[in-house]
Chain A
Amino acid sequence: MPVRDLLSTSSKLSPFQPRYEHLLLLVCVLGTVLPLGVDCNPSAENHQINGTQKKSFPVLSFDYLHVRLPFEIALWILLASLMKLGFHLIPRLSNIVPESCLLIVVGLLVGGLIKVVGEAPPVLDSKVFFLCLLPPIILDAGYFLPIRAFSENTGTILMFAVIGTLWNSFFMGGMLYAVCQIPGTGLENVGLLPSLLFGSIISAVDPVAVLAVFEEIHINELLHILVFGESLLNDAVTVVLYHLFEEYAGVGSVTFMDVLLGVICFLVVSLGGVFMGILYGLIAAFTSRFTSHTRVIEPLFVFLYSYMAYLSAEVFHLSGIMALIACGVVMRPYVEANISQKSHTTIKYFLKMWSSVSETLIFIFLGVSTVAGPHQWNWIFVGCTLLFCLVSRVLGVIGLTSIINKFRIVKLTTKDQFIIAYGGLRGAIAFSLGFLLDKHHFPMRDMFLTAIITVIFFTVFVQGMTIRPLVELLAVKKKQETKRSINEEIHTQFLDHLLTGIEDVCGHYGHHHWKDKLSRFNKKYIKKCLIAGERSKEPQLIAFYHKMEMKQAIELVESGGIPKIPSAVSTVSMQNIKPKRALPQLSKGKEEEIRNILRSNLQRTRQRLRSYNRHTLMADPYEDAWNQMLIRRQKARQLEKRMTNYLTVPANHPDSPTMMRSRLSSDPQGYSLKLNSGNVPAIVVDPATPQSPESMKLQEESSKPGEEDQGIVMRAKLPESSRTDDNVFTPGEDSPKEQRLIRCLSDPGPPPEEEKDDEYQAFLN
């Protein structure tokens, strides 16, 4: 297939000079477009075996129709991903132009190409959009929503989402109706209700577009959560208004009763969506309690329950987006307490991957649909739409902020208001909603679509491109790239308690009071049901601390040893270890020796690899190894304090070979070394019983006084040669001269005295 060839050539070309990348892009585009043109000519051969004539047996046949649909889908996704790849290869472009703009341009090009080839370009089907492309993005946003920032600004966000959207819709609809009534514009057939409907479609800020643009400008958290939260929560308003106006546009009039029903409908839609999400979230959390034996499918539960929440909400015409957000938010703390570290990583990366692909596809399809769709251009209508969009957004933000600031503690400055107003981007949701309109009821649908697309283009291109220099110009506060430290966590909790107490003294039932009540209820009842085992009683602080330690331990090992420890990690004990040892250079002879040993051992390893069993993921020995290490580390830190000369001394065998660099590999069967030569320090992890600490044996050198401090030595029990399938975890890296394993975690190890060793062993066992 031509595509395959193109891909292989492109992968060879990419590391070469930058000029080739343009060629690569062009080639990819052509390669993916042409088969789409090809498919329309149905293959000549058919299975018309009449049985009368015997044809020769076909050795090679061409049957494209058979795989057409999956093939095209895969091709589109591939195109999207290759485009994304391409942009980041071109260095300066991604700084000036946001990705969404580039993708729309690509969509335009592809659509143009398809049209040139003679095909009808595919349009962004609303069903595909709402059921397949939108949910991953929303789930990604909801699962990783910063809860604290969101809950502190809920009032503001709701005001903007509900009242702001209502204002926008009515202002736009009303003004457009007024403009249409002006004689001479040729738009008299646009009634009030269709105008209002159009207003409601176009007024909603779009989460996809906002995410795409705001992700790249790294604005401070407050503004980000305000605009983004607004874009998520206005879905309920949009849904209600859309259905309301669509229903009654046919009838032609709306009574007061209808408006009242509309308000009730809004409450039902939003609260119902949230309730549905919470329900599914709790069920998901409960399910995750029992997954300790089937870790492989844990991420699947998260995705499936969330998607079901979305679909169930859509069944009842409730707000699917709010259901999805609620599900993600509710599910997350409990699920994360229950699932393994690997599942957590999987969920994170899958969500990011899907949402990224979805976003790319959406923008490309927007471009293609622009080329494809029937257009009806009307200067006045489109121009007025654009104008009123901007005006209404600015007025709405200013007006609402003046009201909101009376209740806010951290007031919104003019700069903030400007960014909020400027960040009101429209996107694909508006287009899809417009596309859903029935042509019979709305004869001006094409004009609407044209106007919607124009507004989308304007906001994404003009506003999207200029927001970054504006942010720089106005010196808006950027996001602080800081990792959460234990100090902050302690202090935040401390402040929460303090302020709750003060509120209680004042008799004031404010934000903190209710938050405290909720967290108490949570701790007392809910956590017991939804979190498995001992972790249900774990206080938040401890959980946070464990997570942090685990993360740093993993980072330490992956960076390969002590020399790269960031200063924040090094314990007090590290400061006392004398010279910062630079690793000595390997001599050539030693290098060769190392290579030979590695080669011979690895070859043997390959023959002994077990076949991978899909159904049982190895109970991760590394995870428990880490836990053990962490516990040991803490213990050692205390022991260290009692030591005077805690640094151990060189090993007995200076000529032993080096170990391999430690790696946190995903394949636990990787490194079963044939440990025949000397003491290769290793920690033997018995895969059969990963839970038992006895499987980890560690023997320390006894120190010889008077020797220079050389670091920590870990000696392991040598595995018998028959137990070749053991997972051998060889941490650290050391110099070849001395048999020294610098412990990869920054703790100095136990003191050299024998009795301390026993205490240590006793602790381990």
Chain B
Amino acid sequence: MFTGVYNFIYFLISLTVSHSQITRLYSRFTSLDKGENGTLCREDFQRIPELAINPLGDRIINTFFPEGEDQVNFRGFMRTLAHFRPIDDHEKNKDPNVSEPLNSRNNKLLFAFRLYDLDKDDKISRDELLQVLRMMVGVNISDDQLGSIADRTIQEADQDGDSCISFTEFIKVNFYTSP
């Protein structure tokens, strides 16, 4: 059951920073950019049909846009996508002074964590969890049931008793190994 999770960590989309990949992504970028001004706005993303029916569509779109901005250029586009690059073994021997590369395991998990945590307080509260559950489950399930699932989830993960899931608890309960 961890292969899915490990695949995420070692990432699914093998976007190596190879020339061909960059070219491909650039052509995708330009095809999405209907206004042809070198940047993407939110509507450009929303035009992708599959993203519209994805429960996490909005959140994913939001990750591309840094705080407060409405436009993202190709560099920002690549920067977000670089989170999903495979962890390169050569990078392990890099100079420790350099800050951790974007696609290290920790950062990937942080990326996922931030998608849950909307108010950016580094904790997943019950309400945030409820929102995520509601998105994934649809409209037919009652609030009570979702509430009990959320409660149980928090209770399984929560170790310091604050009824929220912090990043360390998140890692521990989902991956069973320390990062």
Which residues of A does B touch, CB under 8 Å? 146, 148-149, 152-153, 221-222, 409-410, 480, 482, 484-488, 490-508, 510-513, 516, 520, 537, 539, 541-542, 545, 568, 571-572, 634-635, 637-638
Bound complex: CA A513 to CA B54 (Å): 11
Q: With A152-B7, A495-B5, A507-B28 as known contacts, state yes or no: A487 contacts B144, CB within 8 Å.
A: no
Across the interface, do B10 and A541 meet the contact criterion of CB distance under 8 Å?
no
Closest chain B residue, CB of each to CB of A492: B4
Q: Which residues of B contact A410 (CB under 8 A)?
A: 3, 6-7, 10
Q: Which residues of B contact A487 (CB under 8 A)?
A: 153, 156-157, 173-174
Q: State the 10 A-B residue pairs at the shortest beta-carbon distance, nearest first.
A: A504-B50, A501-B60, A634-B148, A497-B56, A507-B28, A501-B54, A539-B137, A487-B173, A491-B174, A495-B8
Bound complex: CA A129 to CA B70 (Å): 68
Across the interface, do B176 and A499 meet the contact criterion of CB distance under 8 Å?
no
Q: With A152-B3, A497-B56, A537-B140 as known contacts, state yes or no: A485 contacts B173, CB within 8 Å.
A: yes
Across the interface, do A480 and B2 meet the contact criterion of CB distance under 8 Å?
yes
Closest chain B residue, CB of each to CB of A225: B3
Q: Which residues of A contact B116 (CB under 8 A)?
A: 494
Q: Which residues of A contact B84 (CB under 8 A)?
A: 499, 502
Shortest CB distance A479–B (Å): 11
Selected contact of B151 from candidates A504, A508, A572, CB within 8 Å? A572
Q: With A498-B115, A542-B137, A542-B141 as known contacts, state yes or no: A504 contacts B48, CB within 8 Å.
A: yes
Selected contact of B3 from candidates A149, A485, A498, A568, CB within 8 Å? A149
Across the interface, do B147 and A638 meet the contact criterion of CB distance under 8 Å?
yes
Q: Which residues of A contact B145 (CB under 8 A)?
A: 542, 545, 634
Closest chain A residue, CB of each to CB of B25: A506
Across the interface, do A539 and B141 meet the contact criterion of CB distance under 8 Å?
yes
Selected contact of B144 from candidates A146, A511, A545, A638, CB within 8 Å? A638
Across the interface, do B140 and A506 meet the contact criterion of CB distance under 8 Å?
no
Q: Which residues of B contact A638 (CB under 8 A)?
A: 144, 147-148
Bound complex: CA A542 to CA B55 (Å): 16
Across the interface, do A494 and B45 meet the contact criterion of CB distance under 8 Å?
no
Shortest CB distance A90–B (Å): 35
Bound complex: CA A637 to CA B147 (Å): 10
Q: Which residues of A contact B133 (CB under 8 A)?
A: 490, 541
Bound complex: CA A499 to CA B12 (Å): 7
Closest chain B residue, CB of each to CB of A635: B144
Q: Mark B78-118, 1 if CB is under 8 A from A, else 0.
A: 00010010100000000000000000000000001001100
Q: Which residues of B contact A146 (CB under 8 A)?
A: 1
Q: Which residues of A contact B136 (CB under 8 A)?
A: 490, 493-494, 497, 539, 541
Selected contact of B4 from candidates A486, A496, A545, CB within 8 Å? A496
B14 interfacial by beta-carbon distance below 8 Å: yes
B38 interfacial by beta-carbon distance below 8 Å: no
Q: With A487-B157, A487-B174, A637-B148 as known contacts, state yes or no: A506 contacts B28, CB within 8 Å.
A: yes
Across the interface, do B13 and A506 meet the contact criterion of CB distance under 8 Å?
yes
Q: Which residues of B contact A635 (CB under 8 A)?
A: 144
Bound complex: CA A482 to CA B5 (Å): 15
Q: Mark B1-40, 1 if CB is under 8 A from A, else 0.
A: 1111111101111110000000001001001000000000
Bound complex: CA A146 to CA B152 (Å): 25
B155 interfacial by beta-carbon distance below 8 Å: yes
Q: Which residues of B contact A634 (CB under 8 A)?
A: 144-145, 148
Shortest CB distance A506–B (Å): 6
Q: Which residues of A contact B173 (CB under 8 A)?
A: 485, 487-488
Across the interface, do B155 and A571 meet the contact criterion of CB distance under 8 Å?
yes
Q: Which residues of A contact B112 (CB under 8 A)?
A: 491, 494-495, 498
Closest chain A residue, CB of each to CB of B52: A504
Q: What are 5 A-B pairs at a CB distance below 8 A?
A: A149-B3, A485-B173, A510-B13, A541-B133, A572-B155
Apart from the given pairs A410-B3, A494-B132, 10 other A-B contacts in the complex at a CB distance below 8 Å: A152-B4, A221-B1, A409-B14, A502-B84, A503-B12, A506-B13, A506-B81, A539-B141, A572-B151, A572-B155
Bound complex: CA A491 to CA B175 (Å): 10
Closest chain A residue, CB of each to CB of B158: A572
Bound complex: CA A128 to CA B124 (Å): 59
Q: Which residues of A contact B176 (CB under 8 A)?
A: 480, 482
Shortest CB distance A524–B (Å): 11
Closest chain A residue, CB of each to CB of B136: A493
Bound complex: CA A221 to CA B144 (Å): 36
Bound complex: CA A500 to CA B55 (Å): 10
Selected contact of A148 from candidates B4, B48, B55, B147, CB within 8 Å? B4
Across the interface, do A409 and B45 meet the contact criterion of CB distance under 8 Å?
no
Across the interface, do A513 and B50 meet the contact criterion of CB distance under 8 Å?
yes
Closest chain A residue, CB of each to CB of B84: A502
Bound complex: CA A493 to CA B138 (Å): 13
Across the interface, do A498 and B56 meet the contact criterion of CB distance under 8 Å?
yes
Bound complex: CA A485 to CA B5 (Å): 14
Q: Which residues of A contact B149 (CB under 8 A)?
A: 486, 541-542, 545
Closest chain B residue, CB of each to CB of A484: B1
Bound complex: CA A152 to CA B6 (Å): 11
Bound complex: CA A153 to CA B4 (Å): 11
Q: Which residues of A contact B5 (CB under 8 A)?
A: 488, 491-492, 495
